[in-house]
Amino acid sequence: MRTSRLLVALVAGVILPFTIAMADADPLEVGIASHAFDHLGDIADQAPAAAASGATVIYCTGFGTVGYAGWPTPDKLKAIGDTTAAYIRQARTDGVRLSIGYLCATSIVGLDSFDRNWPAEFRARFSSPPREWLQRGPEGKPLPSWYGGDYRPACMNNPDWRIYEREMVRRQLEAGCDGIFFDNPTVHAQGCYCDYCMKKFAAFLSSDAGRTDLPAVTDMESLRRFAAAHPGDFLRFRCTIAAGFLSEMRSYARTVKPAALVTCNNSLNSPELLYSQCRTYGYSINDLSKVEDLVVVEDMASLPRTLKDGTIIEYGPVYEVLQSISHHKPLVAVTLADGDYHTPSNLMRLAMAEAAAHGASYLSWPTWPQGVRQKMIAAVRPQADFLRRSADLLNETRPCLDVALFFPVRQWLGGPDCPALQAARALARANIQFKVVSEEDLAESLAADRPPALVVQSPQVLNAAESTVIDRYKHDGGHVVWSSEKNWMDQLAALSQPSVILKDGPPGIRVVLREKPHKTIVHLLNLNVERISSFDDRVHPADDVHLILRCHGDVPTSIVASSADPEATVGPIQFTVTKEADANVVQLAVPRLFISTIFVIQ
Ligand SMILES: [Zn+2]
């Protein structure tokens, strides 16, 4: 819960004209979509600054605060609806295409006063008062919130809480929102043992084949004891609760507005939490993404950059891991440095380019203090415009695969370590072109894409069906490398020539190769950007970067570079081509890479 950023304060913004016509494109496509939270602490309602910096999708408050803090008087409630509607109308005029309204999926703040202003006819819709809606511990008693203070966690399975949340969904959509962002779809760290969760837990286990040891669904005490005694089963169930809630909210939202979008805070405050957030708070991106229209991740630490000691931080491999469990939904991430919601402009431009290279969209916080607002808008806008102009190069592309990396996401139940994430990072560091394949997609991916090599942690992580699929892949000439072996990267290097060889570049250069019919798209990213403060950074450009690329298809006749960076080399690039058995080996030198450049080879 980021309550501080929900405090409403009207701030006068500056409206710049928004002239790019893009009415026909899918508003969530990579490049077309530029996402932005419009509020941070007492800097609220920043749609004008967001739109001026190129944002087209905003996440706004509307009824968000009253949703968890309790209703004001009826006239004030109506005023919030009117203000929200006017705010969204103006944002649309400024170029914002989607306004996603905030709602908290679990929080009740001030339980005693929460329902104070409810009209009688509204109160009559509930079978129990709000104090009965809370998540409960193993003894059946209400649990305190993980936030402490006046917060109490409502249970997403409680039918009265769902009625209440549906009402807030309706109000947001009728005020003009195009969808809902549910914050905190959180199951308590102890798990919720309320009657509704226990009944659903029993139903969840009944659907597990052969399960015959369940207590009667009417015997709550026995079900609670059973849940406590079967932590693995209970953890798996907890990871389905938020998805069930979102699914109902999405179905309801679409009765109000047929195209309504539903997403949530998928959390992942840092990549290392991918498994532990499933285990602790029931945040399973693999489950949530099945029912979301887009997948939004809020990382607090992984803004791509180079630290003073030379450590390079990047989010590219995390995007690839997340893509594999996002069920082809648009992936959106905000990446911050050191938990600071402000990001200097060059680093924001780098983060936007990095997301786009990996088929995702960046989510920004254009909630800048007045003194730096114009400077930030002027610096960020060209990158947003560049990506929008380049949208055709960013969508419906295929990776040029050196390797597929198997990601058995079910491993979260075994512990917090995610070996596939470590392997993805090693591949990215070496500029090896890879795709992450989840357990749902393994068979299809090996059959359809035929990657030259497959990286798997070890034979022990495979189930019988996966072992069979992999045996067939090996029989047909595929290579398997076990990443638990010490020299696995050397084994991989010995198998074949990689698609990308980077010569004479500093360590922070990343190359991402994608293909479309008759063209190869090369994303060149320079992670050698240092963060100085909230609004200052330092770019270390890379000069004379030599690339050797193995491209497929027709012999290329042109390479053209484009970039939003005025300092970068753009236009036609000199190159040579050598024909190999199954590839055209292209060599080129890039005189200057500043933050990011896209090359089109055709
Ligand atoms: Zn519950």
Residue 266 lies in a domain: yes
C-alpha 486/C-alpha 45 separation (Å) is 52
Return d(Cα 559, Cα 567) in angstroms, integer: 19
Is the Cα dihedral 19, 24, 26, 32 positive or negative? negative
Number of compact structural domains in the chain: 3
Angstrom distance (rounded) from CA 520 to CA 585 = 12
Q: What is the distance in A from the centroid of ligand 1 to the CA of 237?
A: 11
Average pLDDT, the chain: 94
Average pLDDT of the residues in 580-584? 88
pLDDT of residue 15: 35
Look up the pTM and report it: 0.95
Domain limit, last residue, from 356, 379, 394: 394
**Each residue of 175-196: pLDDT tens digit?**
999 999 999 999 999 999 999 9
Identify the pLDDT of residue 22: 57
Give residue 13 CA to ligand 1 midpoint distance, Å: 43
Ligand 1 centroid distance, CA of 190 (Å): 11
Q: Is residue 236 part of a domain?
A: yes
- Give the span between the Cα atoms of 469 and 478, in whole angstroms: 11
Query: How confident is the model over 454-472, as a mean pLDDT?
Result: 97
Q: How high is the pLDDT of residue 111? A: 95
Going from the Cα of 170 to the center of ligand 1, the distance in angstroms, rounded, reads 23
Same domain, 383 and 369: yes
Does residue 515 share a domain with residue 388?
Answer: no
> What average pLDDT does the segment 250-265 reach?
98
Is residue 19 in a domain?
Answer: no
pLDDT on residue 216: 83
Helix or strand holding residue 287 (H, E): helix 285-291
What confidence category does residue 217 fall into, taking pLDDT thresholds of 50, 70 and 90?
A: confident
What H or E segment, with its residue span, contains residue 332?
strand 331-335
Q: Is residue 16 part of a domain?
A: no
550 and 423 co-located in one domain: no
CA of 285 to the centre of ligand 1 (A): 20
Query: Above 80 in pLDDT, residue 2?
Result: no
More confident residue, 3 or 139: 139
Question: What residues does 335 pair with on adjacent strands?
Answer: 299
Do 476 and 513 belong together in one domain? no
- For the cut 80, the answer to whether the pLDDT of residue 260 exceeds it is yes
Per-residue pLDDT of 64-80, as tens digits, reads 999 999 999 999 999 99
Residues 83 and 230 in one domain: yes
pLDDT of residue 327: 98
| Token pair of 246 as six digits | 């979102």
Q: What is the pLDDT of residues 303-343, one digit of tens each?
A: 999 999 999 999 999 999 999 999 999 999 999 999 999 99
Last residue of a domain, one of 370, 394, 418: 394
**pLDDT value at position 353?**
98
475: containing domain: 401-495
Say if residue 20's pLDDT is above 90.
Answer: no
Whether residues 545 and 486 share a domain: the answer is no
End-to-end CA distance of the chain: 48
Q: How far apart are CA 319 and CA 357, in angstroms?
A: 10
CA of 184 to the centre of ligand 1 (A): 15
Here the CATH number for the domain that contains residue 87 is 3.20.20.80
| Max CA distance (Å), the chain | 79
Q: So what's the pLDDT on residue 581?
A: 82
340 Cα: distance to centroid of ligand 1 (angstroms): 34
In this structure, what token pair is assigned to residue 326?
Answer: 């996002």
- 339 and 387 both lie in a single domain: yes
CA–CA gap between residue 398 and residue 425 (Å, rounded): 20
E runs forming strands in 447-488: 453-456, 479-482
* 136 CA from centroid of ligand 1 (Å): 6
Closest CA to 30 of 309, 359, 263: 359
Of 138-152, 208-222, 266-280, the least confident? 208-222
Is the torsion defined by CA of 425, 429, 430, 436 positive or negative?
A: positive
Tell me how far the alpha carbon of residue 240 lies from the centroid of ligand 1, in angstroms: 12
CA 234 to ligand 1 center in whole angstroms: 12
Q: Which residues of 418-428 are buried (b: 16+ CB within 10 A; e: fewer)?
A: bbbbebbbbbb
Q: How far away, in angstroms, is 62 Cα from ligand 1 center?
A: 27
Q: Does any domain span residue 17?
A: no
Percent of the chain with pLDDT strictly greater than 90: 90
In the structure, ligand 1 is a single-atom ion and the residues with CB under 5 Å from it are: 155, 157, 192, 194, 197
Give the model's pLDDT for residue 19.
42
The whole-angstrom separation of Cα 294 and Cα 298 is 13
The answer as to whether 204 is a domain residue is yes
Smallest CA-to-CA distance from 253 within 159, 178, 156, 161 is with 178
For residue range 80-98, list pLDDT tens digits in order: 999 999 999 999 999 999 9
CATH assignment of the domain containing 468: 3.40.50
Of the pLDDT bands very low, low, confident and very high (cuts 50, 70, 90), residue 552 is confident
Question: Does residue 420 sit within a domain?
Answer: yes
Backbone angles phi, psi at 502, to 5 degrees: -105, 125
Considering the domain boundaries, does residue 369 fall inside one? Answer: yes
Please determine, for residue 250, whether its predicted confidence score (pLDDT) is greater than 80.
Answer: yes
Check whether residue 56 and residue 187 sit in a common domain: yes
State in Å: Cα 197 to ligand 1 middle. Answer: 4
Which tens digit of pLDDT belongs to each residue from 585-594?
Answer: 999 999 999 9
CA of 219 to the centre of ligand 1 (A): 15
Q: 372 with 505, same domain?
A: no
What span, in angstroms and rounded, lies between the C-alpha atoms of 324 and 335?
Answer: 19
Sign of the alpha-carbon torsion through 555, 558, 564, 566: positive
Q: Are residues 349 and 259 in the same domain?
A: yes
Give yes or no: residues 338 and 367 share one domain: yes
What is the tens place of the pLDDT at every residue in 466-496?
Answer: 999 999 999 999 999 999 999 999 999 999 8
How confident is the model over 411-442, as pLDDT tens digits? 999 999 999 999 999 999 999 999 999 999 99
Band of residue 209 on the pLDDT scale cut at 50, 70, 90: low
Do residues 87 and 106 both lie within one domain? yes
**Residues 205, 287 contacting (CB under 8 angstroms):** no
How far is ligand 1, taken at its centre, from the CA of residue 225, in Å? 15
Sorting pLDDT into bands at 50, 70 and 90, what band is 211?
confident
End of a domain among 373, 394, 415? 394
Distance from the CA of 544 to the center of ligand 1, in angstroms?
59
Q: The CATH number of the domain where 576 resides is what?
A: 2.60.40.1180
Q: Cα–Cα distance between 470 and 452 in angstroms, integer?
A: 13
